[in-house]
Amino acid sequence: MDAIPQDGLATDQGFFFQKGSYAEANGLFTVNDNGVDTLIVYDGDATAGASQTALVLANVNAADLMTTSWGSIYLDPPPMG
């Protein structure tokens, strides 16, 4: 995983997590260190180009997301249930 870049753009084959607040009513994600949601920004282009792609994990703390060197992302601790 990359550090949050100054320009807010994922690098080629890179990704990063951004903490914030997602408003379902209007679909807006607002960067906010106190937010309870996480935006994962990643390169959606498998070639040498970079296509900015993202998804929101609602009610998931970015600090609870673990990554592996081969690109897997998982919750630690795992969700209850």
Q: Which residues bind Ca ion (CB under 5 A)?
A: 12-13, 43, 45
Contact present, 53 and 44 (Cβ < 8 Å)? yes
DSSP code at position 50: -
To the nearest whole angstrom, how small is the minimum distance from the Cβ of residue 7 to Ca ion? 16
For Ca ion, the closer CB: 10 or 62: 10
User: Tokens 């870049």 label which residue?
Assistant: 5
DSSP letter string over 26-50? TTEEEE-TT-SEEEEEEE--SSSS-
To the nearest whole angstrom, how small is the minimum distance from the Cβ of residue 47 to Ca ion? 6
For Ca ion, the closer CB: 15 or 22: 15
For Ca ion, the closer CB: 36 or 73: 73
Q: Write the single-letter amino acid at 6.
A: Q
To the nearest whole angstrom, how small is the minimum distance from the Cβ of residue 14 to Ca ion? 8
